[in-house]
Structure 1
Amino acid sequence: MTEIEQLRVQVDELEMKQAFQEQTIEELNEALTAQQFLIERMQVQMKFLVEKQKSSQTSNLADESEETPPPHY
């Protein structure tokens, strides 16, 4: 195999590797974008749940200052 043929084989191999890397990068980018969307959605849901939990923890008892005194017997 001549030197030119060897160089051509090396160039072909590099071109195949580059194409594979481009495809891999695109797939990783798509996965990252999907994960970011999921994280943002989960943050919104978590905020909603925290607010719902806070609002459900309000006591049904009135403050002592708001309590009417008990009847005396």
Structure 2
Amino acid sequence: MTQSTEAQLAEQLERLTRRLDELETRLAFQDDTITTLSDQLAEQEMDIRKLWEAKQNMHKQLKEMAPSNLKAEHEETPPPHY
């Protein structure tokens, strides 16, 4: 091998090494981002479940507190045009 060929191979190897380092760095950041997003998603899911349960409890309490002003269908008098 000539010196120029060896220099070209060394330069190409250096470029590939830098590229590989850059890809590994990007992968590490992506892994961290995915982990962070996954954790946030899990927290939001728990918050949504808590809010849904709170809404269900409020709905139940409202039903127990205020009786409906509407009569049952069989208790309603028919409208005058019948």
Q: Same fold (TM over 0.5)?
A: yes
Q: Which runs of 5+ in 1 are unaligned?
A: 60-73
* CA distance in 2 between partners of 1:58 and 1:18 (Å): 60
* CA distance in 1 between partners of 2:47 and 2:64 (Å): 26
Q: Which of 57, 62, 66 matches 1:53?
A: 62
> Structure 1 length normalisation: TM-score?
0.77
- Structure 1 residue runs of 4+, over 3 Å off? none
Root-mean-square deviation (Å): 1.6
* CA distance in 2 between partners of 1:58 and 1:46 (Å): 19
> Structure 2 length normalisation: TM-score?
0.69
Which residue does 2:72 correspond to in 1? Answer: none
Which residue does 1:9 correspond to in 2? Answer: 18
Amino acid at match of 2:12: E
Which residue does 1:32 correspond to in 2? Answer: 41
Q: Give the CA deviation at 1:54.
A: 1.0
Count of aligned residue pairs for this structure pair? 60
Q: Give the CA deviation at 1:58.
A: 1.4
Identity of aligned residues (%): 29
Question: Between Structure 1 and Structure 2, whose CA radius of gyration is higher?
Answer: 2
* CA distance in 2 between partners of 1:18 and 1:55 (Å): 55
Q: Which runs of 5+ in 2 are unaligned?
A: 1-9, 69-82
Which residue does 1:19 correspond to in 2? Answer: 28
